[in-house]
Structure 1
Amino acid sequence: MSSAGGVQPGKLWSLFDMLRAYVSEFFFIAQLIAEMEKGGGISNPDVVKALDISSGATLEARLAPIWEKIISRDEDDSKTIVLKLPMSMPSVEAQVQRVWRAIGSFTPPMSSNQLSEILGLVTDLRNRIQDELPAHKMYYVRPELVRYYEDKDQFGNRVTERFPNSIPDIENAGKCIALGQDTASVFHLMRAMECAVGELCTSLQIPNPDREWGKLLSDLHAKIGAMPKDKKRDAWSECHANLYHVKQAWRNSTMHPISTYSPEQSKDIFQCVRTFMNQLAILI
């Protein structure tokens, strides 16, 4: 089933978006169903007008202004009805097709049996909506975590431009924090760090960047020791200290199968890796 303004997986919807996309159509469907099921007790003026066939107009023509709020014609097949809903609900759409065909098949004057048939179809439409809605799940992200999910440049433009290969892991690390997958976030951060370390080794001509981090740190320390004693050397020393801290506190622990991280820890690590990679982007 196609739908107008369909829900995009991986995209956050605000409560306003959800209400705007869902409530108006569903409210009208529910109202129309309720009013039509009342039969002789119909009170909604639009529905009364729609069912008033004394003018000689077909029921399809009389209902068209109402149904246009919730359905549209398929671009390739004018006989096919498409629900204006932002999610796939196949059985609901199939029932809408039945209701619409039934409405289109009746001509004035409409008998009580014909009205009862339509009302039976509408009742089944209501039941199908109630059956299908629970299958569509939404995940609530707390407002303070939305930026972790949506921001593209989580670590800033400098890191994005200098370490483009690390961006997917950085973005996924943020999404994991937003979705409560804190240990998974740290794994992604470590992958981003490995990308940055590779660039570091290339910049300082340290061979075999895929070696164990302890050996890389030893070579980095030697390279820094050979630098002139100035502010740049101090910056590299700070970079070395931060990388050592990553190795000891994060990387080794993360590789352990029972290691888990709390939301506070994952956010702290996220910020520390951000600081390290921004510093490294300036140095190299």
Structure 2
Amino acid sequence: MVMEVAEVRTPGIGVAHNLRAVKVVVHREALRFLDDRSRMISTLIQPVLWLFVLGTGFGTLVQGAIPGIDYRTFIYPGMISMTVMTTAMFSAGSIVWDREYGFLREMLVAPVSRGAIVTGKCLGGAMVATLQGVVVLALAGLVGVPYDPVLMVSLLLMMFLTAFTVTAFGVLVAAKMKGITAFFAIVQMVMMPMLFLSGAMFPLANLPAWLHILTTINPLTYAVDPLRQSVFSHLDLPAEVSAVLNPGVQWAGWQVPVALELGLVAVTGLILLMAAVARFRKGD
């Protein structure tokens, strides 16, 4: 008598299967963020302090140099970037915690592509960081930025793009990290200089040559400048004031269009995403 052997079928790893995996990872990131209220509060304290405490203090010193505008209005786009960057890095850093508790290994052995897991992580981090940035958007009226619907929507889209790129960078760094302390040490060493050299705190006009070069080659500059361009386009300021405070990014005297700046941020994010996927495919 011949015994029949039941056929065992494994689910195919197709596009729909990977899309479901991306959705699951994004959902997990959202739940983790909403359940961690201390993280929500801590990532907001720094930009709020910079905006209202430091911004008010510095504003008293520079109010004569920038007539017609509050210094807090000027640094508002930079504070949006800081909020998004901080939250995105926390999301990327959770990979290190997942590795320590063994959850990352369980995800990597699941019957889905590692590219789907990394993509879901980046999209989830971008979504969470954008939601956190909404709180800073709600403070716009307190610093002289109008609640214009077109402005708010454009800022949201730029925030998401920036958050995706920053999260992809954080995931790339966290791919082989064994400890959370080392991860945040490297992130702080890289991201804080990038933030200060992005024009978030000072205008990009009339800079010394060496500082102009550093701001030009800084990828974060091309995320902060479109935010400021959008904000200033909805402010009623004299042309000479806008020329000083919002000159845009220039390459050898040629002003870089906002569309090109956003394109550079998007391309950088995709390159970082592909690099992160490649690192995860090499094994954990």
Shorter-normalised TM range: under 0.3
Bigger Rg over Cα: 1
**TM-score scaled by structure 1?**
0.25
Which protein has greater RCO, CA pairs closer than 8 Å, 6+ apart?
A: 2
Q: Which structure's residues are more often helix, by fraction?
A: 2
